[in-house]
Structures are given as structure tokens and as C-alpha cells.
Amino acid sequence: MTATPGARPVRRYDPQRADRIVDAALDVIAEHGVPNTTHRLIAAAADVPLGSLTYHFTTLEELRARAFTRHAERMAAAYEAHFRTVRSADDVVEAVTDLVHGDAGADPHDWAIAYELYLAALRDPALRTVTGSWMRRSRRVLERFVDPTTARGVDALVEGLVMHKILSTDPVSREQTREIVARAVRPATPPGTGV
Amino acid sequence: MTATPGARPVRRYDPQRADRIVDAALDVIAEHGVPNTTHRLIAAAADVPLGSLTYHFTTLEELRARAFTRHAERMAAAYEAHFRTVRSADDVVEAVTDLVHGDAGADPHDWAIAYELYLAALRDPALRTVTGSWMRRSRRVLERFVDPTTARGVDALVEGLVMHKILSTDPVSREQTREIVARAVRPATPPGTGV
DNA sequence: CAGTCATGTGTACGAGCGTACGCATACCGG
DNA sequence: CCGGTATGCGTACGCTCGTACACATGACTG
């Protein structure tokens, strides 16, 4: 009977601990923001002792980077999955509208982390590669349905709409969003077409 | 001979000091980000002693809020000024393109502060009023030329385009931006018009 | 089944932080 | 001309942070 006292089960052997710590770090970033993301808060969130963090990750900066990388990976995967059922350019409008209004698997929690990442990447070139590959992936998805320039525009539009949605006091209706998106998706005036 | 030593001119009587501190705070936020914006850094940037900050601003949080408020005010004013010469909806496309590509008085420095503000506002409702009134002002400017829904879309688009422009490794060309903006500005398919 | 060593844990330390506060200074109303 | 007081200044305090490190433990190899 080695596990007698009600104190602690002596949590030894925890192979996925590093993973759990990374997820906990994401939770803390989402809830408290990068400035308040400390070793101690993360440790509490992951329910591991403080020393465990410095054991698995040499520095806090490294841990943050891993967390952001994982989040970007997940977001990109969700993005791709969301567009897997889309067939025509018309469906794109609806799919993008879903995206903005949180009906595609990404909630405010996720977007908060995303914006924390953006801001961090503004000053850390290493993180720039993370945001870069994420943006490239999402653009590539859109390019299956629309031309590259339109893809860029729609991608940026989503970013802006979500940000405004989160910050705005008077929110945009789904109807409005659909109309805005439709305008962006509609192909450019093709030089020789029409007349 | 009271001002003998070459050490310091005994900088007494500095009526605009509070103002200067706020501007210094903005510089520090832009360069180092909110997490690293400390009393000591700001004091050094403003070339005032540390104690001067706590004298003029009871708390660091208050100083940050004042700085953000001033910045939002300036950005909104610049926005309005930039559109003062615009006459038709066609000019809007060019004006917005200028905005995105930094030819309208707002440089990466300014945008960095803006995004710091956005993120801070995400967690501080008090700052939400600052971002809210800023967004409202910019939208109202656009509404002089386009319908409200379009204004919302363009406003969000600018946000997203600038962010992508700052973070992206392969930048968007001015040409591309103009095309994207043009698509957003073009009025929606009017349901009952034309016939 | 015994020894090794990767893994897990608690504590301590130096640095930098926000803020408080006592003293110095010069402007200003009388 | 002189005191009162708003303003300017330097320093110190308590706290939290990231990180280091000595010790404990149990899974795995041979």
C-alpha cells in the first residue's frame, strides 16, 4: 500500500504530460493573455508542479511557441475540414459566413488565441513562420474555388470581420455578413466579359 | 550660482510633462508591446524620473488607457482627414487602397499600437468603448459614400488587409489590393433595381 | 532482480516589477 | 517679501516572475 494518504497519488509516470502542458498553456493564453501567461499559472492549469515545466521546456518562450504552433495547426486543419464539403463558389459564401459566425468549430476562445499569436508574431520573426504557413494553407483552400486575388481578399476579410465581431458593441447580423462576403467572392470584372 | 554642475539643468516647471509621458508610452507600446511596457521604460523614453509617472498617473493601467485613447483619437482624425478630399464612390477605392498601403499617414508603428489596443480591449471592457467609438467614426466616414453594410465590410476588410500585409511573408501588391477593395465597394446586387 | 538513469518534485534565488513616500524646489497669493 | 503648496525627484519595499538545482522515485535493461 504505497498510495495510502489522501494527499496525492504520487502522480508518477505521465507520458503525455508535455502535451497536456501545451494545451494548458493555450487555455491560459486564451483566458489571461500572453502578458499574464506565467509558468505558475500554466502549471496550475495543467495540475502539475512548477518544476515540471522547466523540465519539459527549457524556456517559457519555447513553450509559448509550441502552443501557438499547435493552435495554428489545429485552426488550419479545421479550416480545411470545413471546406471539404464545399463544391461550388456559391457554397463558399455560406461556408465563409459560417466561419465568421463561429459555426465552423472556432469559438471566441480560439480566435482570442489567434490574435494573441498575431501580435506576438509582429515582434517575433520565428512566429512569423507559423502565421505564414497558416495563412498560406487557408488561402490554398479558398483557391480551389476562386482566383488567387479573391482568395487573398476573402482571407483578409474573414480576419477583419471576426475581429470586428468580437470587439464591436453592435454586432453584425448573419444576413449582413453573407452580403459582405458575397461581394468579396464575386469574381472581379473580367476585362473582356459581359459586353 | 544655483545651476552650476553639468549634471542636470534641474528641469523644473514642465507643464506639458503629462502629455509627453503619454506620447512616450505610445512609443514604448509600439516598440516593445504591452507586456514590456513598464514604468521604467516609459520614464526613460520620456526622459523623466520614475517618480514622475506615479505622480501624474495613479496607476500604469490608467496611463495605458490614456495612451490608447489618444491614439484612437488621432487615428480616427487621420481617417476622417484622409477622406475629406474624396468625392465619388470611385475615389473611395483609391483612398482605401492608400490607407492599406500606408500612404495615408498611418505607418506600421501606428498599426502596431492599434493591434495592441484591440487585444487589450478584448479583455478590458473599458477599452472596448475606445475601440467602439473609433470603429463607429470610421464607418460613418465611409457611409458618406456607400451604404451601411458596404461600409462595415470595407472597414473590416481594411483591418484584415493591413494585418495580413504586416504579417505576410509575400506581400500583396498595390494592384491586387485595389482590385480586392473595388470588389468590396461595388454595391450589392440590388434586388429590385434596374427593371 | 539489481543498478541506472530518465523522469518527477519542491524549494530557493536573483532580477525586475508597480507603487509608496519623504524630501527638495520654485511658483504664487497675501 | 514670505510662507504655503503644487510639483518634481530619488530611493526603498514587498511581490512575483523565470529559472536553477538538489533530491526522490520507479520503469527498464541486462
pLDDT tens for residues A149-181?
A: 999 999 999 999 999 999 988 889 999 999 999
Domain-embedded: residue B5? no
Nearest-CA residue of chain A relative to B162? Answer: A156
Judgement on whether residues A169 and A143 belong to the same structural domain of the protein? yes
Domain-embedded: residue A191? no
CB contact under 8 A, B123 and A33: yes
pLDDT digits (tens, 9 = 90+) for B75-114: 999 999 999 999 988 899 999 999 999 888 888 899 999 9
Give CA torsion, residues A90, A96, A102, A108, to 10 deg. 180
**Which positions in chain B touch A184 (Cβ < 8 Å)?**
153, 157, 180, 183-184
DSSP B11-24: ----TTHHHHHHHH
Block residue for cell numbers 479573391: A150
Q: Judge if the beta carbon of A88 is closer than 7 A to nucleic acid strand D.
A: no
- Residue A85 distance to chain B (closest CA, Å): 26
Rg (CA), chain B: 21
Domain-embedded: residue B93? yes
Judgement on whether residues A53 and A77 belong to the same structural domain of the protein? no
Judgement on whether residues A108 and A161 belong to the same structural domain of the protein? yes
Judgement on whether residues A31 and A123 belong to the same structural domain of the protein? no
pLDDT at A168: 85
Are A89 and A47 in contact by the 8 Å Cβ rule? The answer is no
- Residue A176 distance to chain B (closest CA, Å): 6
Domain-embedded: residue B193? no
Please count the structural domains in chain A: 2
**Measuring from the CA of residue A43 to each C1', which nucleotide is nearest?**
C9
- Rounded CA-CA distance B41/A163 in Å is 30
What average pLDDT does range A64-68 have in this prediction? Answer: 98
What average pLDDT does range B146-156 have in this prediction? Answer: 96
What average pLDDT does range A82-91 have in this prediction? Answer: 91
Judgement on whether residues A84 and A156 belong to the same structural domain of the protein? yes
- Rounded CA-CA distance A128/A137 in Å is 14
Output the domain CATH number for residue A146.
1.10.357.10
pLDDT of B11 strictly over 80? no
Judgement on whether residues A103 and A30 belong to the same structural domain of the protein? no
Instruction: Report residue A2's pLDDT band, with 50, 70 and 90 as the boundaries.
Output: very low
Q: Give the DSSP letter of residue B188.
A: P
Block residue for cell numbers 488561402: A139
Domain range for A159: 73-185
Domain-embedded: residue B192? no
CB contact under 8 A, B184 and A153: yes
Instruction: Report residue A194's pLDDT band, with 50, 70 and 90 as the boundaries.
Output: very low
> Mutate which of B137, B142, B159 to test chain A, going by most A C-beta atoms within 10 A?
B159
CB contact under 8 A, A122 and B128: no
Domain-embedded: residue A65? no
Q: Judge if the beta carbon of A129 is closer than 7 A to nucleic acid strand D.
A: no
Domain-embedded: residue A193? no
Chain C positions with an atom below 7 A of a protein C-beta are 7-12, 16-22, 25-27
Are A181 and A97 in contact by the 8 Å Cβ rule? The answer is yes
pLDDT at B1: 35
Chain-centroid distance of CA A113 in Å reads 6
Are B111 and B162 in contact by the 8 Å Cβ rule? The answer is yes
Are A42 and A28 in contact by the 8 Å Cβ rule? The answer is yes
Judgement on whether residues A98 and A178 belong to the same structural domain of the protein? yes
Distance A51 CA to C13 C1' (A): 15
pLDDT of B132 strictly over 60? yes
pLDDT at A165: 93
Residue among B115, B167, B189 whose CB faces A128 most closely: B167
**Which positions in chain A touch B121 (Cβ < 8 Å)?**
167
What average pLDDT does range B163-178 have in this prediction? Answer: 92
pLDDT at A171: 85
Are A186 and B191 in contact by the 8 Å Cβ rule? The answer is no
CB contact under 8 A, B159 and A155: no
Domain-embedded: residue B22? yes
What average pLDDT does range B119-130 have in this prediction? Answer: 95
Nearest to A55 by CA among A84, A79, A24, A21: A21
Q: Judge if the beta carbon of A51 is closer than 7 A to nucleic acid strand D.
A: yes
Judgement on whether residues A50 and A88 belong to the same structural domain of the protein? no
What average pLDDT does range A79-104 have in this prediction? Answer: 93
Better pLDDT: A152 or B12: A152
Judgement on whether residues A152 and A78 belong to the same structural domain of the protein? yes
Judgement on whether residues A91 and A153 belong to the same structural domain of the protein? yes
Q: Judge if the beta carbon of B5 is closer than 7 A to nucleic acid strand D.
A: no
Judgement on whether residues A121 and A180 belong to the same structural domain of the protein? yes
Judgement on whether residues A96 and A172 belong to the same structural domain of the protein? yes
